[in-house]
Structure 1
Amino acid sequence: MDYIRVTSIDDPLFAKLHQLMKEVFPPEEVLDFDLWKGPLEDPSIRVFVAVHQEEVVGVTEYRYYPEWNIAMTDFTIIGRPGLGLGRFIANKRMEDLQELASQNGVELNGMFAEIYDPYRIGDHDFGGVKTMDPYVRREVLSHLGYKRLDFPYVHPSWENDGTAVEGLDLCFMPLDDSVNELKSTLVVDFLSTYYSVLPDKPQAWLDMIEQLKSKEMVHLLEL
């Protein structure tokens, strides 16, 4: 199995990657093909595919923020069972992030991720791909060490139509197991930076940010 970075929409692997995304994710979570040109060419955004027998069987996108020494996992797709893809991608991603942190003279503090909550909204079947079952994924991510930030979370739709997407939790995986809260300023700064690419923010998201600004800390709860 190969772990290969994709940096151009002209890369034949990207067409396979994008098709896999459309098969697995709901439309509001998938950026249009041509709109990927900028993100793929952005050195801070890291898109890797797992290639098995010349086919893209897994994908992960993530980014590292040296100013906060944290990462964000944008998404992970486990497209086929029986290949050990989850462990393969998680290990390769962490190796890459630790190398980036090392270049910054530190060890990684942790990683954010948006995680579906199927106990609230259970209508995502992820294209019938059983390895992407939201109940399974939530437990796997809990096993990896992700914890849920204690506030009602929404995010702007990637269709950039001003709607708020619900049914997810913002989570954080601290690499120090003793960490059980984050500074709210970190959460606000991160979310404001992460979603700066989407100019049409829903009012629910703006209200959420204002509520976070009124807090000093945000607790981390078990998934």
Structure 2
Amino acid sequence: MEYIRITSIEDPLFAKMHQFMQSVFPAEEVLEFSLWQEPLQDQGLRVYVAVHEGEVVGATEYRYYPTMNVAMTDFTIIGKPGLSIGRFLAKNREADLLEWAKASGQTSLGMFAEIYDPYRVEEHSFGKVKAMDPFVRREVLSHLGYKRLDFPYVHPSWENDGTAVEGLDLGFMPTDDSMTELPASLIVTFLTTYYTVLSNKPQAWLDMIESLKQKETVALKGL
């Protein structure tokens, strides 16, 4: 299996990955094809695919913010069972992020991720790919070390239509597992930076950000 970075929508592997995403994720979670051109060229963003026998069988997108000293996993897609795709992507991503932070002269505080809560929203089918089942994903992320940031979370739809997407938690995997909270100001800075690309923010998201600004810290809880 190969771990291959994509940097252009002209790359044939990108078309396969984008189609792959559409077959797995709900429409509001997938950025339109042409809008990927600029993000793929962003040096703060990395998109990799797992290629097996010429086919895209997995993908992951992540970023690292040296000014905040945190990373973010945008998505991880596992398309086939029996190939250890999840571990392959996680280990390669971890190694890349360690080198990325090291090149910036830092050790990352940890990594954010948006995590579906199937105990609140059960209708996500994720293209009927069993490995992507929200119950499975939540437990896998817990095993990896992710914790739930203890506040009601929504995010703007990637369709940029002003809709607030619910049914998720904002998770964080601290490098130091003994960490029990994060500064609320760090979460605000991260979220406002992360969603800069979307111009049409829902009121629920704006209210959430204002609520966070009133806090000193946010607790990390178990998934």
> What value does the CA root-mean-square deviation take over the aligned residues?
0.5
Query: Which segments of 5 or more consecutive residues in structure 2 lack a partner in the other structure?
Result: none
Mapped pair 1:71 → 2:71:
yes
Show structure 1 runs of 4+ deviating over 2 A.
none
- 1:108: Cα distance to partner? 1.8
- 1:50: Cα distance to partner? 0.3
Q: Which residue of 1 aligns with 2:112?
A: 112
- 1:133: Cα distance to partner? 0.5
Mapped pair 1:176 → 2:176:
yes
Letter paired with 2:23: E
- In the superposition, the TM-score normalised over structure 2's length comes to 0.99
Q: Which residue of 2 aligns with 1:137?
A: 137
CA shift digits 1:51-107 (9 cap, x unpaired): 000000000000000011110000000111100011110000000000011111122
Letter paired with 1:154: V
Q: Which residue of 1 aligns with 2:162?
A: 162
Q: Which residue of 1 aligns with 2:50?
A: 50
Distance 2:60 2:69 in 1: 19
Distance 1:200 1:125 in 2: 27
- In the superposition, the TM-score normalised over structure 1's length comes to 0.99
Letter paired with 2:195: Y
Mapped pair 1:2 → 2:7:
no
Distance 2:109 2:86 in 1: 21
Q: Which residue of 2 aligns with 1:39?
A: 39
What is the DSSP-based 3-state SS (H/G/I as helix, E as strand, rest coil) of the residue aligned with 2:173?
strand
Number of paired residues?
Answer: 223
Bigger Cα displacement from structure 2, 37-46 vs 51-60 = 37-46
Query: Which segments of 5 or more consecutive residues in structure 1 lack a partner in the other structure?
Result: none
Distance 1:100 1:198 in 2: 26
Letter paired with 1:214: Q
Q: Which residue of 1 aligns with 2:148?
A: 148
What is the DSSP-based 3-state SS (H/G/I as helix, E as strand, rest coil) of the residue aligned with 1:39?
helix
Q: Which residue of 1 aligns with 2:222?
A: 222
- 1:135: Cα distance to partner? 0.2
Q: Which residue of 2 aligns with 1:191?
A: 191
- 1:109: Cα distance to partner? 1.4
Identity of aligned residues (%): 70
